[in-house]
Amino acid sequence: MKEILHRSDCPIGYSLDYLGDKWVLLILRDLIFTNKSSYGDFLASDEKIATNILADRLKLLEANGFIKSTVSAEKKNKFIYSLTEKGIDLIPVIIELMIWGSKYDSHDVKDVVKKLEKDKEGTIKQLRDKLSARINSDVPSGE
C-alpha cells in the first residue's frame, strides 16, 4: 500500500491528502447513508467504480483507519466493511457536500435535504449513533 505523503501542514490539505479524490467519499457515503457494506455492494452503486479502483480504495481506507473489514458470518468468502470512529467523524463533511450539491444541482429533489438541514446536528447524531452501534457488532443491521 502506497503511503500518503502530506503536502503541507494545513489541516485542510491534510484531509484532502486522503479524501481529495473522486471515489473515496462516495464509498464512505454508501457506508453512512445506505446499508451497503460489501465490495459487491459498492460496485453496484450508480457511479460505476472500476473493480481495481474499488479494491485499491478499500485497501487505502482500511490501511489508514477509516474503515475495518470482517469476514461475513454467513459466507466466509464475503467481507463486511464498516466505519471506524475516524470514518464516522467525516459525516459532517459529507453532509455539507450534500447540502451544497443539493443547492446547485438542478436535478436534485431538495425536500429530503431541506429537512436534514433544519436539524443538522440531530441528523448527524442519529447517523453517528446508528453507525457507532455497528462498530462493535460484526453484522450491520437494517434500518
What does residue 56 show for φ and ψ, rounded to 5 degrees? -60, -45
C-alpha cell at 18: 486522503
Q: Identify the three-state secondary structure at position 112.
A: helix
Radius of gyration of the chain, Cα coordinates, nearest whole angstrom? 16
Site for DNA in 60-119 (CB under 7 A): 69, 72, 74-79
* Of the candidate residues 44, 93, 133, 135, the single one contacting its own copies (CB under 8 A): 93
C-alpha distance across the termini of the chain, in Å: 34
Q: What x-and-dash track marks residues 43-82 binding its own copies by CB under 8 A? A: --xxxx----------------------------------
Q: What does the block give as the cell for 84?
A: 471506524
The answer to whether 90 touches 101, Cβ cutoff 8 Å, is no
Task: Give the count of residues interacting with DNA (CB under 7 A).
Answer: 26
Closest CA to 23 of 1, 52, 54, 59: 54
> What does 141 bind: its own copies, DNA, none (CB cut-off 5 to 8 Å by kind)?
none
- Cα gap 52→42, rounded to integer Å: 12
Q: Which stretch binds DNA (CB under 7 A): 52-60, 86-94, 99-107, 116-124?
A: 52-60
115 binds, among DNA, its own copies, none (CB under 5 to 8 A by kind): none
Give the range of 36-44, 90-98, 115-123, 127-135 binding DNA by CB under 7 A: 36-44
Q: Which stretch binds DNA (CB under 7 A): 47-55, 83-91, 94-102, 129-137?
A: 47-55
Binding region for DNA (CB under 7 A): 2, 21-23, 38-41, 48-53, 55-56, 58-59, 69, 72, 74-79
